[in-house]
């Protein structure tokens, strides 16, 4: 029997919770069909998380692709089907992949497995992003340089901690609903061991405490810079990301296991910590930097 997972019309980080909730009810070895026929929009996190969903299943899942031509065309330009083709049994019309040239897609969905992949990602983002970040988002040169550094550190979290490969994508778009401004969004997702298990492997003091859970693991790693390594120089990547988003009024959210932690800027009304979410393996990180406006 196949379990049908209905994808929402708008597949962003918040709406994806409904997908995680449906998946949590299905055994990992159950056959599932993700139905995206009515999905009209997906954020970079939505698309990369969809790939990790397939990685988390024991049986190759099926995916009914969006009905809308512009949606499916965008997913193709973002590089989604290039990777989904191997991970999903695809149903519906999939346009042929072609060179993007789409200025909104700063970085097509790219696998991150080894540190060499991080070099490739950083090199590509620098080529494409500088002009767009400065012209469309009014970010100065320091911001564009810091952006590549932030992307590098976010990707290294997969290589160093996930225990398996993941995905990264970067896109700009206008966030009408909340902000009314353009934003650039980095999404980094994996279906690896997640923050809690990674810290447990380092046997940190908190990991031995009674109150240890996914929420506490995220607080330790994201807020306090704790890692599984004893080396005091470790944990600087996430600290650097925090500094960067603080300086440019950005937002960071990281979901892992059953919790999601966010560093929330004044323009957003998200909660700092959500717990008791549906269990999903790995970590899903989203970094949002808004267009700069004169005050």
Partner 1 sequence: MITHIDLGAMLRRTVCELYSDLVTRPTGAAVRTGIEQQLAELAGRTLTVIDFSRVGLLDFSCADEIVAKLLVRCQGWGGDRPHDAYFLLAGIRDLHIEPIEAVLERRALAVVAQPAAGHPDLLGSADGAERVVWAALDQLGRGTGPEIALVAGMAPADAEPTLESLCDRRVIMRDAAEYIALGAVARP
Size of the site for partner 1 (CB under 8 A): 25
* 126 contributes a contact to partner 1 by CB under 8 A: yes
* 129 contributes a contact to partner 1 by CB under 8 A: no
* 240 contributes a contact to partner 1 by CB under 8 A: yes
* 230 contributes a contact to partner 1 by CB under 8 A: no
* 153 contributes a contact to partner 1 by CB under 8 A: yes
**Is-contact 286 187, C-beta < 8 A?**
yes
Q: Which residues contact 62 (CB under 8 A, 6 or more apart)?
A: 2, 31, 32, 33, 34, 88, 89, 90, 91
- The interface region with partner 1, picked from 138-146, 164-172, 184-192, 266-274 by CB under 8 A, is 138-146
* 58 contributes a contact to partner 1 by CB under 8 A: no
CB of 143 to partner 1, least distance (A): 11
* 232 contributes a contact to partner 1 by CB under 8 A: yes
- What character string, x for contact with partner 1 (CB under 8 A) and - otherwise, covers 242-271? -x----------------------------
CB of 10 to partner 1, least distance (A): 33
Backbone dihedral angles phi then psi of residue 190, each to the nearest 5 degrees: -145, 165
**Contact residue for partner 1 among 21, 68, 90, 239 (CB under 8 A):** 239
* 236 contributes a contact to partner 1 by CB under 8 A: yes
* 146 contributes a contact to partner 1 by CB under 8 A: yes
Helix axes 80-87, 69-77, angle to 10 degrees: 90
* 122 contributes a contact to partner 1 by CB under 8 A: yes
CB of 66 to partner 1, least distance (A): 35
- Residues 259, 39: Cα–Cα separation, whole Å: 25
* 186 contributes a contact to partner 1 by CB under 8 A: no
**Is-contact 188 48, C-beta < 8 A?**
yes
Nearer to partner 1 (CB atom), residue 104 or residue 120: 120
Write out the residues near partner 1 by the rule CB under 8 A. Answer: 115-116, 118-119, 122-123, 126, 142, 145-146, 148-149, 152-153, 156, 159-160, 232-234, 236-237, 239-240, 243
């Amino acid at each position: 029997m196949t379990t049908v997972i209905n994808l929402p019309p708008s597949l962003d980080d918040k709406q994806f919770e409904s997908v995680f909730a449906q998946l949590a009810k299905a055994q990992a070895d159950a056959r599932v069909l993700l139905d995206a026929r009515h999905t009209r929009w997906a954020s970079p996190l939505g698309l990369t998380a969809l790939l990790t969903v397939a990685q988390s299943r024991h049986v190759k899942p099926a995916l009914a692709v969006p009905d809308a031509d512009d949606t499916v065309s965008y997913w193709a330009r973002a590089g989604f089907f290039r990777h989904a083709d191997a991970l999903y049994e695809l149903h519906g019309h999939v346009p042929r992949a072609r060179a993007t040239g789409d200025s909104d897609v700063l970085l097509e969905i790219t696998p991150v497995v080894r540190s060499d992949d991080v070099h490739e990602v950083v090199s590509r983002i620098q080529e494409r992003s500088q002009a767009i970040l400065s012209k469309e988002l009014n970010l100065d040169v320091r911001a564009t340089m810091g952006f590549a550094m932030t992307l590098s550190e976010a990707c290294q979290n997969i290589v160093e901690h996930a225990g398996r490969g993941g995905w990264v994508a970067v896109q700009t778009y206008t966030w009408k609903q909340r902000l009314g401004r353009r934003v650039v969004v980095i999404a980094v997702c994996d279906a690896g061991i997640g923050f809690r298990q990674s810290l447990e492997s380092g046997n940190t003091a908190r990991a031995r405490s009674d109150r240890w859970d996914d929420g506490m693991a995220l607080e330790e790693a994201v807020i306090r810079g704790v890692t599984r390594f004893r080396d005091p120089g470790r944990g600087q990547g996430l600290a650097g990301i925090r500094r960067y988003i603080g300086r440019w009024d950005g937002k960071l959210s990281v979901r892992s296991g059953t919790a999601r932690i966010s560093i929330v800027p004044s323009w957003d009304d998200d909660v700092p910590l959500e717990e008791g979410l549906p269990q999903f393996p790995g970590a899903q990180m989203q970094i949002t930097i808004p267009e700069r406006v004169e005050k």
